[in-house]
Amino acid sequence: MRPVYEKYFRDNIPHIWCAGCGNGIVMSAFARAIEKLGYDQDDVMVVSGIGCSSRMTTYIDFNTLHTAHGRALAFATGAKLSEPRLKMFVIMGDGDAAAIGGNHFIHSCRRNIDITAIIINNAIYGMTGGQYSPLTPTGKKATTAPYGNIDRAFDIVELSRGAGATYVARGDIYHAAQLTNQIVDAANHKGFSVLEVVSTCPISYGRYNKMPKPTDMMQYIKDNTVSVQKAATMTADELKDKIIIGEHFKIENVPEYTEEHNKLVAEVKKDYLEKLKGGAK
Amino acid sequence: MTNNTINKIRLVQGNEACALGAIKAGATFYSGYPITPSTEVAEHIANKFPRIGRHFIQMEDEIASIGAAIGASTVGHKAFTATSGPGFSLMQELIGYAAIAEIPVVIINVMRAGPSTGLPTMPAAGDVQQARWGTHGDHSIIAISPNSVMETYYETINAFNLAEQYRTPVLLMMDEKVGHLRERFEEDEANEPVIMYRPAPKEGEKFVPYANVECGVPHILPLGKGERYHITGLTHGETGFYTAQPKAVSKFVGRLSDKIELNVDKIAKIEENYTDDAEVLVLSYGSSARSAHEAVKTLREQGHKVGMVRLITLWPFHDAKIAALCEGKKAVIVPEMNLGQMAREVQRVAKGVPVLPMCRVDGDLMTPDEIIAKVKEVL
């Protein structure tokens, strides 16, 4: 596919991202995905929270809303419910989505509102310089876990499943072409779609965890990702510390929130108008 | 009285009047979280909004509630939420977001006694300084404090009008007594309220979302209707993109305050009674002002030169007008259901005039007799 950057990127580059950061790969995959989906830019709204990845809304040419830390899904829910015709994407980091925004995340899963949530997971708070997040693996180092992280990490796939999401996939920045298709598939799913993108932060994560060069982190992702299909043939021991990529689950025919809402409003409105017409009857 | 007239007179609760006002104002989106003593606002809206094709959603907490309301406003809806103290505290960060991103939104705070869980079913006015300074950073704010059911209706409409007109969050600071009070409700059909909408560019006019316009309030268009732009909580330049350039930041943050403070004459509503020849002034707002008004009336009947000033608008505080009203008075007594929060403002501007706070924070209303006794101490 030809690059589509000019069409979808605003001219306020240079961006803030460090060399070797994975955010740019996700951003270009996003642009290619929108091109594939054939969406009119005017109909696409992208909402983000706070963090390195959330700055993406500055650079891409859509209706963009850069909100507060953790709250992107709350803003997006209000916008989507009131204007369901908008194609709604939410870009969050791992801390943004799973820590401070965890409540909004599980409730968005539960409502099954037609939003595509892209969680760029670099396993660290990058913007603030490398503190552990709920997606930092146990034992890894961070500036706030200098002796190793004792916290257990969330598994976004299982968290989403438990909370009632109807579509969950995991991608990564090494498999950029697949990532484009995953964004397309997530967007095409009617309901709340979660796409976790395993990414890199060489500066604030890699340096503390024996992967100081961007290529070290890329190599790590390349070596440790296995597809959902292959994972099905592997034992739990073999899967330890592996990143399982691909579509984890997709549940069709679960009522979508804005449709249910509009159906209810239409019925109540109709009954009410009939009652008014009926007068004192 | 015709039957038709009688049908239009109803007994309505303050919180319901607020919901009716929001409907009248053209609010099309409500997101909220249950909390005493504001819950009836949500209940009335949940009942009435679907009938007229508007949107109600109950969110997972108050932060989500105000977030969803701001989100709906960015795509063109008049949006609001209602809460009380604990929820109002949670909303503070996003009140600041709406202020810096200049997104119209209305927040109803039916105040109860705090801090923390406090006295959930009792009135207070403990959040009036929080309304002004609750979120971090410099900005101005509009806050209104109605004291009756009918006024709640009209001031809710006013709150939406001001939010739209000034591109700002507007806080309607009711209290538990006003929220749960039931009074005669009758719309003034001869004076239909004006309904205002956010300032949009004229046909063919260039849209600059954060233009440093002279009036202080730039045009706004909904996202998703063809004009693609960026909204952020970062300090931003005229096009809406982040800037750290000191001159631009200074101009921008200055404008956030000026657009409200320089229009204080247009925004601030202050009701005066018997002030012309008054020697002592009673200044109050919200439920306390009802008792204060009764006290002043009684004192006047007894021949005492006492005047009454009621703040309908708490913020922006009209320094010049309050200073002028206080000038030359023997004393100004400020009954309020907190430990003297607005009395501080009066003290700040009433140079040389003794300002006596009159405080109550036990969940009980102040009685007219208490106020009369206090006034008699200084007469």
B102 & B140 share domain? yes
B220 & B71 share domain? yes
B329 & B226 share domain? no
Check B29 against A83: CB less than 8 A apart. no
Contacts of residue A173, Cβ cutoff 8 Å, sequence gap at least 6: A22, A25, A26, A179, A197, A198, A199, A200, A218, A221
Q: What share of chain B is helix, strand, coil (3-state, %, to 5)?
A: 40, 20, 40
pLDDT tens-digit map of A105-123? 999 999 999 999 999 999 9
Check A82 against B29: CB less than 8 A apart. yes
CATH number at residue B332: 3.40.50.920
**List of E strands, chain A:** 44-48, 63-66, 87-93, 116-121, 124-125, 131-132, 167-172, 193-198, 225-227, 243-250
Please report which confidence band the pLDDT of residue B132 belongs to, taking 50, 70 and 90 as the band edges.
Answer: very high
pLDDT tens-digit map of A227-237? 999 999 999 99
* pLDDT higher than threshold 90 for residue A3: no
Contacts of B72 in chain A (CB under 8 A): 78-79, 81-83
Number of helices (H), then strands (E), in chain A: 12, 10
pLDDT tens-digit map of A8-54? 999 887 899 999 999 999 999 999 999 999 999 999 999 999 999 99
Contacts of B100 in chain A (CB under 8 A): none
Residue B97 belongs to domain spanning: 1-267
pLDDT tens-digit map of B68-127? 999 999 999 999 999 999 999 999 999 999 999 999 999 999 999 999 999 999 999 999
B131 & B26 share domain? yes
Q: What is the CATH number of domain A5-252?
A: 3.40.50.970
B48 & B113 share domain? yes
**DSSP string of B21-44?**
HHHHHT--EEEE---TTTHHHHHH
Please report which confidence band the pLDDT of residue A280 belongs to, taking 50, 70 and 90 as the band edges.
Answer: low
Mean pLDDT of A80-105: 98
- Among B267, B288, B323, give the residue marking a domain's end: B267
- How far apart CA B235 and CA B244 sit, in angstroms, is 7
**DSSP string of A42-97?**
GGEEEEE-SSTGGGHHHHB-SEEEE--TT-HHHHHHHHHHH-TTSEEEEEEEHHII
B374 & B249 share domain? no
When scoring B231, B234, B238, B243 by the number of chain A Cβ atoms within 10 A, the one with the most, hence best to mutate, is B231
Beta-bridge partner residues of B31 = B57
Do B107 and B225 touch, CB atoms closer than 8 A?
A: no
B29 & B159 share domain? yes
* pLDDT higher than threshold 60 for residue B268: yes
In this prediction, residue B272 carries a pLDDT of 98
Beta-bridge partner residues of B108 = B82, B172
When scoring B30, B73, B230, B234 by the number of chain A Cβ atoms within 10 A, the one with the most, hence best to mutate, is B230
In this prediction, residue B170 carries a pLDDT of 99
Rounded to the nearest 10 degrees, the angle between the axes of helix A102-111 and helix A156-163 is 50
Mean pLDDT of A131-144: 98
B70 & B123 share domain? yes
- Among B221, B251, B267, give the residue marking a domain's end: B267
Only one residue has tokens 């209104």, namely B144
CB atoms under 10 Å from CB of B222, counted, come to: 19
- Among B213, B248, B267, give the residue marking a domain's end: B267
Query: Regarding beta strands A193-198 and A116-121, do their DSSP bridges make them parallel or antiparallel, or are they unpaired?
Result: parallel
Please report which confidence band the pLDDT of residue B63 belongs to, taking 50, 70 and 90 as the band edges.
Answer: very high
Contacts of B97 in chain A (CB under 8 A): 67-68
Please report which confidence band the pLDDT of residue A278 belongs to, taking 50, 70 and 90 as the band edges.
Answer: confident
Mean pLDDT of B248-266: 97
Mean pLDDT of A188-217: 97
ipTM score assigned to the predicted complex: 0.97
* pLDDT higher than threshold 80 for residue B3: no
Do B236 and B242 touch, CB atoms closer than 8 A?
A: yes
Structural domains in chain B (count) = 2
B229 & B283 share domain? no
Closest by CA position to A53, among listed A145, A142, A118, A150:
A118
Please report which confidence band the pLDDT of residue B4 belongs to, taking 50, 70 and 90 as the band edges.
Answer: low
In this prediction, residue A2 carries a pLDDT of 59
CATH number at residue B263: 3.40.50.970
In this prediction, residue B6 carries a pLDDT of 64
B278 & B336 share domain? yes
B165 & B275 share domain? no
In this prediction, residue A93 carries a pLDDT of 98
Check B59 against A77: CB less than 8 A apart. yes
B237 & B304 share domain? no
Q: Greater confidence, A4 or B277?
A: B277
Closest by CA position to B15, among listed B39, B49, B46:
B39
Check A107 against B76: CB less than 8 A apart. no
pLDDT tens-digit map of B164-207? 999 999 999 999 999 999 999 999 999 999 999 999 999 999 99
In this prediction, residue A5 carries a pLDDT of 79
